[in-house]
Amino acid sequence: MKSSRQFTETHIALAHGNGGRFMRELIENLFTYHLGNELLDTGVDAANLPLVYDSGVVMVTTDGFTVEPLEFPGGNIGSLAVHGTVNDLAVSGAVPHYLTLSAFIEEGLEIALLDRILASMARACQESQVKVVAGDTKVLRRGQGGGVYFAMTGIGVRPADLQLGLKQICPGDCVVLSGSMGDHGTAVLLAREQFGLSGDLHSDSASVLPITQALTKIPGLRFMRDPTRGGLATVSHEIAHAIGATVRLNEAQIPVLDPVRAVCDILGYDPMYLASEGRVVAVLDAAAAERAITTLHELGYADAAIIGRIVSGKAQVVLETQLGGERILQELEDDPLPRIC
């Protein structure tokens, strides 16, 4: 980890957002120091990107990040912002290339904490082979923010011949999950220490690009989504309502780690609704689904499984329980774990 130049100040002040010397020093000593590359020019208002349009379709996504606490086992808001933005492009079939970053920093935030967050963000960028090419910084008065919020935009390129989307899904298709559910939501919950619970569970926050790149090579891929806020249940409802069919999930095939299940049992949460930040839900035709599982296992995603299927019927999500019964998974209304991503 690089060690940035030391500030005289140890905490963020309102002056760090006023456009003057303090803001310039903040950007140079932290943001540019960690995220700088040949394309990032903090002296201009717009970045000139070497995009080649005839190589595919340019894809753009944007997202905001407000996790609490800012640091949690397996990551922090910096790495989470990169992973979340990269993953939105990846599940759309695109290869991410460029990011923009807006930082909303609360007065009083420790410089050392911001330094760690940006160092983690830089590592996540390097691992995903993306570059931050533009950004903006604002400082909020003390008490008006949660330490730091990030807004990030991502740009990538999808092959022109790759057709993915909800409308591609048909009855008879299978639902594939790349790994265990609810790790991120549970890890963040434990990090808050609100219920006297503790554990060594780590967030699954990671780039899903290796998964999506493998799946896009398989004919019969219909759709991909990362099950973040609202988890697997919410993605399943999105599918059901978009195509007017039933999504039937098999509880026995859905991987849930023991610590996640234990926390859910104690606090009354349902892992079907908890966020994951490094997983992919994909829909493929039946033959392609079997091939997808073989491929993901070979890549090291040992928990990947076919967890359900699409059947004709009303737009709903049905969970076939491990006891042999069924229950309807209702659409999420209340946020069980606010500020997790």
Q: Can you say how many angstroms the Cα of residue 285 is from the centroid of all Cα atoms in its chain?
A: 25
Choose one of 158, 176, 194: the last residue of a domain: 158
Query: Where in the sequence is the domain holding 102, given as residue range(s)?
Result: 14-158
DSSP-derived secondary structure letter, 238: H
pTM: 0.90
pLDDT digits (tens, 9 = 90+) for 233-270: 999 999 999 999 999 999 999 999 999 999 999 999 99
Whether 288 contacts 221, CB under 8 Å: yes
60 part of a folded domain: yes
3-state helix, strand, coil in the chain (%, to 5): 35, 25, 40
Same domain, 170 and 292: yes
Angle, CA 176 vertex, CA 237 and CA 199 arms, to 5°: 85
The mean pLDDT value for 304-310 works out to 98
3 part of a folded domain: no
pLDDT digits (tens, 9 = 90+) for 54-111: 778 889 999 999 999 999 999 999 999 999 999 999 999 999 999 999 999 999 999 9
What's the pLDDT at 73? 95
| 3-class secondary-structure state, position 12 | coil
pLDDT mean across residues, the chain: 91
Same domain, 39 and 131: yes
4 part of a folded domain: no
Same domain, 135 and 171: no
How far apart, in whole angstroms, are the C-alpha atoms of residue 161 and residue 102?
A: 33
Rg (CA), the chain: 21
